[in-house]
Amino acid sequence: MRIKAVFFDFDGTILDTNDIKLDTFYEVVKDIDNGKKYLNDLLNMPDTGDRFDIFKKLAKIIDFNNSSIIERDLISKYTLITNQKISIAREVEGVSCFIKSLFHAGILVFISSATPELYLKNLVNIRNFSKYICDVYGSPKEKEDHIRFIMKRKRILPKEILYIGDSQVDFDAAMTVGCEFIGVILKNSRFKNKPKFTINNFYQIDTIFEDINLTKEDDK
């Protein structure tokens, strides 16, 4: 059985945006007394959570009595800045060409991210590759839920799915469901356990993708 659907993570996989998001956290708190220290402490926690979790915790540290107002203000600033920066962020090399090739080969293409779904869809819609994407999935649902939803909806088996991502969370989601995985490593690896297949850009993926498909054919 050959690959019928490919899931892409967004940040650090399609767009080189991981540094943008981290830098923006610090930009948002730069005028807050001890804001950088508080943020460092939160980001170094084992279970950091998403932007909403981070700013909720941070707001309570800054001013517990007015935390809800501060939280909304921080999230609003963060969303505005990241939206502007990510809308013009550079793509990971070769990703648009690869997405187009999947589309023309009749392979379903999805985006699966931990970014809030409505916000993510708005970002994807302004990029040139959006017309080749079947659908976009984000939080609050987990990445493995995204995969299972498509498996059920499209009647696709786990071994007919490839997930491409840049973090251990992506790798774990693929392994939990039982689909194939290719890791993207741009600057620093975000994997605790290195995947079997990794790339630094999408010009390197053709041989790996063909190897995976050939293995699927042998497994028939």
**Digit-coded pLDDT (tens) for 94-131:** 999 999 999 999 999 999 998 889 989 988 988 888 89
Residue ranges of alpha helices (H) inside the chain are: 18-29, 35-43, 51-62, 67-87, 95-104, 117-125, 143-154, 168-177, 205-218
87, 106, 133 - which closes a domain: 87
32, 62, 87 - which closes a domain: 87
43 and 114 together in one domain: no
Which pairs count as long-range contacts for 79-87, CB under 8 Å and 24+ apart, including other chains?
79/119, 81/24, 81/27, 81/28, 82/20, 82/21, 82/24, 83/119, 83/122, 83/123, 85/17, 85/20, 85/24, 86/15, 86/17, 86/20, 86/123, 87/123, 87/126
65 and 153 together in one domain: no
> What's the confidence (pLDDT) of residue 1?
60
12 and 22 together in one domain: no
* Residue 39 near residue 25, CB atoms below 8 Å: yes
Q: Rounded to a whole number, what is the distance in angstroms from the first to the last CA of the chain? A: 6
- Return the structure tokens found at 29: 């708190």
Residues in the chain, pLDDT under 70: 1, 46, 214-220
> What's the confidence (pLDDT) of residue 44?
84
CATH number of the domain where residue 100 is located: 3.40.50.1000
> What's the confidence (pLDDT) of residue 187?
82
> What's the confidence (pLDDT) of residue 217?
54
- Return the structure tokens found at 207: 């041989």
- Would you tell me how many other CB atoms lie within 10 Å of the CB of residue 148? 16
99 and 133 together in one domain: yes
87, 118, 146 - which closes a domain: 87
Total domains in the chain come to 2
78 and 129 together in one domain: no
User: How far apart are the C-alpha atoms of 128 and 50, rounded to whole Å?
Assistant: 27
149 and 69 together in one domain: no
62 and 49 together in one domain: yes
Q: What is the largest CA-CA distance in the chain?
A: 63
137 and 53 together in one domain: no
113 and 189 together in one domain: yes
* Residue 6 near residue 101, CB atoms below 8 Å: no
Where in the sequence is the domain holding 83, given as residue range(s)?
18-87
142 and 175 together in one domain: yes
82 and 25 together in one domain: yes
What pTM value is reported for the model? Answer: 0.85
44 and 12 together in one domain: no
